[in-house]
């Protein structure tokens, strides 16, 4: 690799040059990150320390909370720290690790959302076979499959990025290292690499989104045959899932399902899938969920 690059660090241009805006963003994102950590840790511990862990939906939700923490922590602490300094740099090794971690944990999160959609499909469309289909062994296999899917997505992508030569410009117009901004500063023809990365990231995101949307359309169609109370409960649960899916996938599709280039709006859209969506996940999954609220009360407010 030493013969393919002569730079040891990249300069991140960040969100804004305005000092006042940077200070506002520092306070805002610090609050968001702390809220994200607290919310997801509370959900994680509440599920792990209650009988909810035996239910597939909450078993997957606990893994989703773990991935939210890992995924956001690969970017947000660096962003918060950079808002306090004038020169925002990141070493070559840290940059490559950030690319890998972002796409590894992000893709696992995507596949966990798919597993949760499958769980809701079985629970609503095949209720008599639910406990047989979604037993603990199969749930463990689904979680293992999400990790395998994350590896299959991120390792080829990482191998393509790490082989790029960087020998000239080292300014990245973003607040973290991502594939398209890195293609822009590579000192070689990146057309083929860009197309391969587009197929890897963009089409995977789009296909997963279409599968999720189709599954929830089938679920909503099936709700016609349920009682009023059954429809209310199912809509409450599925509504939470659908909200999370759109918060995460809409900006992700904009960022990755397009020709390999960069736009000024990329940084704004990236905030949604790196900070905003993971921060709102705990609220979305607990606000209208009485089972989750009761479990949290028992774990955190129980009296001896």
Does residue 1 lie in a domain region?
Answer: no
Segment 69-82, tens digit of pLDDT: 999 999 999 999 99
d(CA 188, CA 180): 14
Residue 234: predicted pLDDT: 67
- 304 — pLDDT class (breaks 50, 70, 90): very low
199 to each of 34, 259, 260, 270, how far by Cα in Å?
A: 34, 10, 11, 19
Give the pair of three-digit tokens for residue 233: 């409960």
Does residue 4 lie in a domain region?
Answer: no
In this predicted structure, the answer to whether residue 169 has a pLDDT above a threshold of 80 is no
8 versus 40: the higher-pLDDT residue is 40
Does residue 171 lie in a domain region?
Answer: yes
Q: Which residue has the tokens 């009360």?
A: 297
Total residues belonging to the chain: 304
d(CA 54, CA 39): 21
302 versus 58: the higher-pLDDT residue is 58
- 288 — pLDDT class (breaks 50, 70, 90): low
In this predicted structure, the answer to whether residue 63 has a pLDDT above a threshold of 90 is yes
d(CA 229, CA 175): 46
| CATH number for the domain that contains residue 39 | 1.20.1070.10
Does residue 35 lie in a domain region?
Answer: yes
The boundaries of the domain holding residue 134 are 9-298
61 to each of 64, 94, 109, 161, how far by Cα in Å?
A: 5, 29, 10, 32
Overall domain count for the chain = 1
Stated pTM of the model: 0.87
Does residue 228 lie in a domain region?
Answer: yes
Does residue 199 lie in a domain region?
Answer: yes
72 versus 233: the higher-pLDDT residue is 72
Q: Which residue has the tokens 């994102």?
A: 29
Segment 113-132, tens digit of pLDDT: 889 888 888 888 888 888 88
Give the pair of three-digit tokens for residue 73: 């922590």
Lowest mean pLDDT among 55-59, 79-83, 229-233, 243-247: 229-233
Phi and psi, residue 165, nearest 5°: -85, 135
* Residue 207 burial class via C-beta count within 10 angstroms: exposed 0-12, middle 13-18, buried 19 and up: exposed
Residue 69: predicted pLDDT: 93
Sign of the Cα pseudo-torsion (41, 103, 159, 96, in order): negative
């Amino acid at each position: 690799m030493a013969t393919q690059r002569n730079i040891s660090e990249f300069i991140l241009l960040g969100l804004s040059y305005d000092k006042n805006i940077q200070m506002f963003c520092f306070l805002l994102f610090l609050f968001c990150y702390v809220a994200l950590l607290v919310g997801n840790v509370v959900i994680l511990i509440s599920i792990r320390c209650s009988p909810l862990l035996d239910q597939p939906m909450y078993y997957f939700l606990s893994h989703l909370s773990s991935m939210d923490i890992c995924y956001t922590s690969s970017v947000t602490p660096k962003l918060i720290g950079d808002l306090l300094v004038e020169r925002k740099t990141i070493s070559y090794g840290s940059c490559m690790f950030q690319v890998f971690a972002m796409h590894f944990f992000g893709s696992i999160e995507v596949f966990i959302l798919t597993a949760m959609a499958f769980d809701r499909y079985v629970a609503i469309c095949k209720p008599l076979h639910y406990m047989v289909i979604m037993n603990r062994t199969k749930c463990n296999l689904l979680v293992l499959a999400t990790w395998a899917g994350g590896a299959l997505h991120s390792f080829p992508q990482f191998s393509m990025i790490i082989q790029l030569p960087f020998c000239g410009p080292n300014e990245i117009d973003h607040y973290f290292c991502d594939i398209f901004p890195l293609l822009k500063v590579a000192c070689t023809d990146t057309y083929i690499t860009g197309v391969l990365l587009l197929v890897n990231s963009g089409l995977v995101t789009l296909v997963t989104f279409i599968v999720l949307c189709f599954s929830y359309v089938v679920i909503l169609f099936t709700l016609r045959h349920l009682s009023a109370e059954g429809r209310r409960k199912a809509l409450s649960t599925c509504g939470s899932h659908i909200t999370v899916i759109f918060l995460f996938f809409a900006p992700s599709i904009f960022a990755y399902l397009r020709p390999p280039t960069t736009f000024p709006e990329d940084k704004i859209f990236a905030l949604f899938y790196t900070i905003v969506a993971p921060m709102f996940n705990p609220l979305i999954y607990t606000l209208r969920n009485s089972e989750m609220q009761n479990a949290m009360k028992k774990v955190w407010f129980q009296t001896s």
